[in-house]
């Protein structure tokens, strides 16, 4: 039964003797099983368009580490691709857009988002839900409107997203129009994922760190708040817990709490949080620096103990990393870490 899930219990702020465990980017290049499947596809997005392959990939970390939650295998850039921006993942380069947003006209000309264009994603959700044990929830996800806008305007990944920063300065009105279109698309997309079987939703604001405090509220948090409100007001999604991951935000964590997310996924450097004041108000997830997994077993143990001590008295703590597992991490270290947390 899904109600037996310790992950859902933690999201519901229940006190548990052992925290549930899952990892951001738990399926991916660090696993040899993943690389064996990946080599059959030139363009990563073509692989995401195959629901049977997505199911196999989402199940790999569940089978390898016996985790307490699965995450849909897909990518956040499916939405800009469906909006006609032509997303490709090139070898060693990451995502590249054929038609990035360059002018304010490009924003106006974006065709209306049709959630049915992403049927391949909902089919993957359905396959994964059916493959999972009944007590293991499936996490559906979307990028935050701001993070999707940043990729769509920049046209690729970047260290500092300077074109995006210039665009929002020079085209304020169109930036808000674009963010509104993305917010609507995220809502329709997440609702379809829930209809297909997703039990929990996570919003990835992976480029929160680009904005200063004032900009962050205006260009990102504002739209996340609208998105969460739409999910909470909809009959299909109203009872689905929403987790918010924000990478290194330049604002008081209290602003993240006011989005009404059910759970905050804490970036590894996010230590300016008064945990006691949040007890019973919101669930918390994450916070271990993924780079710890490149260290010796002794060092991993030391860092894990610090995290588990920190959240010991918190009702609703979910063990996770403070960002995704990177390709250079040894799967044996992931196994070691998982066993450490379970035997704490």
Question: Greatest CA span in the chain, whole angstroms?
Answer: 57
Q: Closest distance between ligand 1CP and the C-beta of residue 302, in Å?
A: 25
- Residue numbers annotated as active site: 25, 29, 38, 75, 151
Query: Of the two residues 253 and 324, which places its CB atom closer to ligand 1CP in the complex?
Result: 324
For position 38 contacting ligand 1CP by CB under 6 A, the verdict is: yes
Q: CA nearest 203: which of 237, 174, 252?
A: 237
Q: Closest distance between ligand 1CP and the C-beta of residue 323, in Å?
A: 6
For position 155 contacting ligand 1CP by CB under 6 A, the verdict is: no
What are 3's two structure tokens?
């109600």
For position 68 contacting ligand 1CP by CB under 6 A, the verdict is: no
For position 137 contacting ligand 1CP by CB under 6 A, the verdict is: no
First to last CA, the chain: 26
Where does residue 326 rank: exposed (0-12), middle (13-18), buried (19+ CB within 10 A)?
middle
Are 155 and 100 in contact, with CB atoms under 8 Å apart?
yes
Site string for ligand 1CP, 297-336 (x = CB under 6 A): ---------------------------x------------
Q: Closest distance between ligand 1CP and the C-beta of residue 45, in Å?
A: 9
Query: Of the two residues 242 and 314, which places its CB atom closer to ligand 1CP in the complex?
Result: 242
For position 44 contacting ligand 1CP by CB under 6 A, the verdict is: yes
Query: Of the two residues 315 and 326, which places its CB atom closer to ligand 1CP in the complex?
Result: 326
What are 267's two structure tokens?
């970036």
For position 89 contacting ligand 1CP by CB under 6 A, the verdict is: yes
Interface region with ligand 1CP, contact rule CB under 6 A, candidates 67-75, 118-126, 175-183, 210-218: 67-75
Interface region with ligand 1CP, contact rule CB under 6 A, candidates 75-83, 165-173, 233-241, 301-309: 75-83
Among 6, 8, 10, 28, contact with ligand 1CP (rule: CB under 6 A): 28
Q: Closest distance between ligand 1CP and the C-beta of residue 15, in Å?
A: 28
Q: Closest distance between ligand 1CP and the C-beta of residue 44, in Å?
A: 4
User: CA-CA distance, 88 to 69, in Å (whole number)?
Assistant: 29
What are 149's two structure tokens?
């806008």
Site string for ligand 1CP, 193-232 (x = CB under 6 A): -----------x-x--------------------------
Among 94, 212, 332, 342, contact with ligand 1CP (rule: CB under 6 A): 94
Residue keyed to tokens 């499916």: 78
Query: Of the two residues 45 and 341, which places its CB atom closer to ligand 1CP in the complex?
Result: 45
Query: Sign of dihedral through CA atoms 257, 259, 260, 261?
Result: negative
For position 73 contacting ligand 1CP by CB under 6 A, the verdict is: yes
Query: Sign of dihedral through CA atoms 220, 222, 223, 225?
Result: positive
User: How far from 140 is each of 75, 125, 198, CA to CA, in Å?
Assistant: 11, 8, 5
Interface region with ligand 1CP, contact rule CB under 6 A, candidates 72-80, 114-122, 128-136, 232-240: 72-80
Are 316 and 14 in contact, with CB atoms under 8 Å apart?
yes
Query: Of the two residues 41 and 344, which places its CB atom closer to ligand 1CP in the complex?
Result: 41
User: CA-CA distance, 193 to 341, in Å (whole number)?
Assistant: 30
| Residues of the shown chain interacting with ligand 1CP in the complex, contacts defined by CB under 6 A | 25-29, 38, 44, 71, 73, 75-77, 89, 94-95, 141, 157, 204, 206, 324
């Amino acid at each position: 039964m899904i109600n037996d899930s310790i992950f859902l219990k933690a999201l519901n702020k229940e006190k548990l003797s052992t925290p549930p465990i899952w990892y951001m980017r738990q399926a991916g290049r660090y696993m040899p099983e993943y690389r064996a499947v990946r080599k059959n596809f030139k363009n990563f997005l073509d692989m995401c368009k195959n629901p049977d392959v997505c199911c196999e990939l989402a199940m790999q970390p569940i089978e390898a580490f016996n985790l307490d939650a699965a995450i849909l295998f897909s990518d956040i850039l499916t939405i800009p691709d469906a909006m006609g921006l032509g997303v490709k993942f090139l070898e060693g380069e990451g995502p590249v857009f054929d038609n990035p947003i360059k002018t304010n006209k490009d924003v106006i000309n974006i065709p209306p988002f049709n959630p049915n264009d992403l049927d391949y994603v909902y089919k993957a959700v359905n396959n994964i839900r059916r493959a999972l044990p009944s007590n293991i929830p499936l996490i559906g996800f979307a990028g935050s409107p701001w993070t999707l806008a940043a990729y769509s305007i920049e046209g690729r990944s970047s260290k500092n997203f300077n074109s995006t920063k210039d665009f929002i300065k020079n085209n304020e009105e169109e930036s808000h129009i674009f963010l509104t279109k993305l917010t609507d698309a995220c809502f329709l997309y997440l609702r379809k994922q829930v209809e297909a079987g997703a039990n929990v939703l996570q919003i990835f604001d992976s480029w929160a760190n680009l904005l200063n405090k004032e900009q962050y509220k205006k260009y990102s948090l504002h739209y996340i708040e609208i998105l969460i409100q739409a999910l909470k007001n909809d009959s299909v999604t109203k009872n689905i817990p929403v987790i918010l991951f924000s990478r290194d935000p330049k604002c008081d964590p209290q602003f993240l709490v006011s989005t009404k997310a059910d759970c905050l996924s804490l970036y590894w450097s996010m230590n300016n949080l008064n945990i006691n004041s949040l007890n019973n108000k919101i669930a918390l997830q994450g916070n271990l620096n993924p780079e710890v997994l490149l260290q010796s077993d002794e060092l991993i143990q030391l860092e894990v103990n610090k995290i588990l001590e920190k959240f010991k008295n918190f009702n609703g703590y979910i063990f996770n990393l403070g960002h995704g597992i990177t390709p250079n991490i040894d799967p044996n270290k992931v196994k070691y870490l998982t066993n450490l947390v379970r035997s704490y």
